[in-house]
């Protein structure tokens, strides 16, 4: 049972396009969600399968005409897939305006990618103002109206409350898996762990919750087993490809936790179910985000959160997965690295979706391993 569920999630993580086509052939409409902090719940409540658009390993042929080469590789890949037709078949795409690269991405879709249409929305950065939650809720409501105008699909309060319950249940399942996986690295290596988290972006949440619960139950029935003494936690927007996880495995690292938006970080906090207005509950979910490079904080809390996680999971090192040319992440990195390195050996790896050359990363990981062993 464990292997079957794991295999299904690994296949989905490997071939998102195939997963999207399978939904469409089954008559289920699919809508793209460009990260980060996109309110998938609204897409779900409108009756679409929310589908994470995380770019992918691709050579840029078309996007360079619209997006500068110094934009992050996630956005460049998304634009490339939009321009070359990979995203055709999606009913629409929603995209947050969170950073300059995303602004450029949205403009590219508006100007050069008519199919699927893109529906942007803004998220406020000054989240300490009392009006910030109301502004966010207003943006979400406007987004809901755009979805309705385009597709005819309205979003009722009842549907929103149901979707919030489904998403909270999924988040609980992911947190349980995360803890169980850290104590069963003999079965859940870095690649398998990443596949469980990645596949969540390409699968209906109800189905994903069921499969993840199966895996967690099977792990909990087994005695705890740590494969390698070298335990690391990851941090970043995305921890990159399965090939990078394979490199970490080859060099004898167990990944036992992460503060990675694409992986477990997104499941930390539930959306409130006790508020009368579910759109406001979703807005408050954004307001309380902490420790993220794309959510402004007066006092940055990310390094403390990463170190706390490393301590809890008995990890001896941190790996910062730095999305190449991600302005918010690169702006935060010097201060964060200085704080991390005071308490824990820390390795920085560049994540570049537009290059398949892993040899530099291999050398850095091997050297880091030697330093830890010495």
Q: Does 328 bind ligand SF4 (CB under 6 A)?
A: yes
Q: How far is the CB of 99 from ligand SF4 (least distance, A)?
A: 3
Residue number, 200 or 294, with CB nearest to ligand SF4: 294
Residue number, 38 or 163, with CB nearest to ligand SF4: 38
Residues whose CB is less than 8 angstroms from the CB of residue 196 and which lie 6 or more positions away in sequence, other chains included: 6, 9, 13, 177, 181, 188, 212, 215
121 CB neighbour count, 10 Å cutoff? 22
Q: Does 75 bind ligand SF4 (CB under 6 A)?
A: yes
Residue number, 317 or 323, with CB nearest to ligand SF4: 323
* Piece in contact with ligand SF4 (CB under 6 A), picked from 62-70, 203-211, 326-334, 353-361: 326-334
Binding-residue pattern over the window 237 to 256 for ligand SF4, x denoting contact by CB under 6 A: x-------------------
Q: Is the dihedral of CA 209, 214, 217, 218 positive or negative?
A: negative
Q: Does 123 bind ligand SF4 (CB under 6 A)?
A: no
Backbone angles phi, psi at 109, to 5 degrees: -65, -40
Question: 291 and 233 in contact (C-beta within 8 Å)?
Answer: no
Q: Is 179 exposed, middle or buried (0-12, 13-18, 19+ CB in 10 A)?
A: middle
221 CB neighbour count, 10 Å cutoff? 8
Taking the C-alpha atoms of residue 247 and residue 364, their distance in angstroms, rounded to an integer, is 11
Q: Does 336 bind ligand SF4 (CB under 6 A)?
A: no
Residue number, 5 or 33, with CB nearest to ligand SF4: 33
* Piece in contact with ligand SF4 (CB under 6 A), picked from 175-183, 279-287, 300-308, 324-332: 324-332
191 CB neighbour count, 10 Å cutoff? 19
The token duo for 106 is 């949205």
Residues forming beta bridges with residue 235, ordered by sequence position:
259, 320
Q: Does 263 bind ligand SF4 (CB under 6 A)?
A: no
Q: Does 351 bind ligand SF4 (CB under 6 A)?
A: no
* Piece in contact with ligand SF4 (CB under 6 A), picked from 68-76, 109-117, 225-233, 263-271: 68-76
* Piece in contact with ligand SF4 (CB under 6 A), picked from 16-24, 93-101, 119-127, 191-199: 93-101
Q: Which of 30, 95, 99, 219 binds ligand SF4 (CB under 6 A)?
A: 99
User: What residues between 284 and 303 interact with ligand SF4 by CB under 6 A?
Assistant: 294
Q: Which of 102, 133, 245, 281 binds ligand SF4 (CB under 6 A)?
A: 102
Among candidate residues 218, 232, 143, 134, the one with its CA nearest the CA of residue 182: 232
Taking the C-alpha atoms of residue 348 and residue 364, their distance in angstroms, rounded to an integer, is 9
Per CB under 6 A, residues contacting ligand SF4 are 36, 72, 74-75, 98-99, 101-102, 237, 294, 323, 326-329
């Amino acid at each position: 049972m464990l292997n079957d569920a794991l295999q299904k999630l690994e296949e989905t993580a490997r071939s998102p396009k195939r997963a999207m086509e399978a939904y469409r052939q089954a008559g289920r409409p699919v809508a793209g969600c460009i990260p980060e902090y996109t309110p998938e719940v609204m897409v779900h409540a409108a009756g679409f399968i929310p589908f994470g658009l995380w770019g992918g390993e691709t050579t840029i042929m078309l996007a360079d005409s619209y997006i500068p080469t110094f934009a992050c590789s996630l956005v460049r890949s998304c634009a490339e897939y939009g321009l070359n037709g990979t995203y055709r078949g999606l009913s629409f795409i929603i995209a947050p305006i969170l950073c300059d690269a995303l602004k450029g991405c949205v403009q590219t879709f508006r100007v050069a990618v008519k199919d699927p249409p893109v529906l942007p929305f803004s998220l406020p950065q000054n989240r300490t103002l009392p009006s910030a939650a109301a502004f966010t809720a207003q943006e979400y409501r406007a987004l809901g109206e755009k979805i309705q105008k385009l597709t005819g699909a309205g979003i009722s309060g009842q549907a929103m409350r149901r979707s919030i319950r489904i998403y909270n249940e999924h988040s609980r399942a992911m947190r349980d898996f995360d803890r169980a996986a850290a104590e069963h690295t003999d079965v859940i290596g870095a690649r398998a762990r990443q596949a469980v988290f990645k596949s969540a972006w390409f699968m209906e949440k109800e189905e994903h919750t069921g499969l993840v619960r199966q895996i967690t139950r099977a792990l909990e029935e087994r005695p705890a087993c740590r494969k390698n003494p070298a335990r690391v936690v990851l941090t970043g927007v995305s921890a990159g490809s399965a090939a990078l996880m394979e490199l970490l495995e080859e060099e004898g690292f167990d990944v036992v936790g992460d503060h990675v938006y694409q992986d477990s970080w997104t499941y930390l906090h539930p959306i409130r179910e006790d508020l009368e207005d579910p759109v406001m509950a979703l807005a408050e979910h954004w307001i309380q985000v902490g420790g993220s490079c794309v959510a402004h904080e007066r006092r940055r809390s990310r390094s403390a959160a990463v170190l706390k996680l490393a301590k809890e999971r008995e990890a001896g090192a941190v790996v910062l997965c730095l999305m190449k040319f991600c302005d918010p992440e690169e702006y935060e990195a010097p201060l964060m690295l200085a704080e991390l390195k005071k308490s824990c050996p820390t390795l920085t790896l560049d994540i570049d979706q537009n290059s398949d050359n892993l040899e530099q990363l291999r050398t850095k990981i091997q050297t880091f391993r030697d330093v830890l062993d010495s």
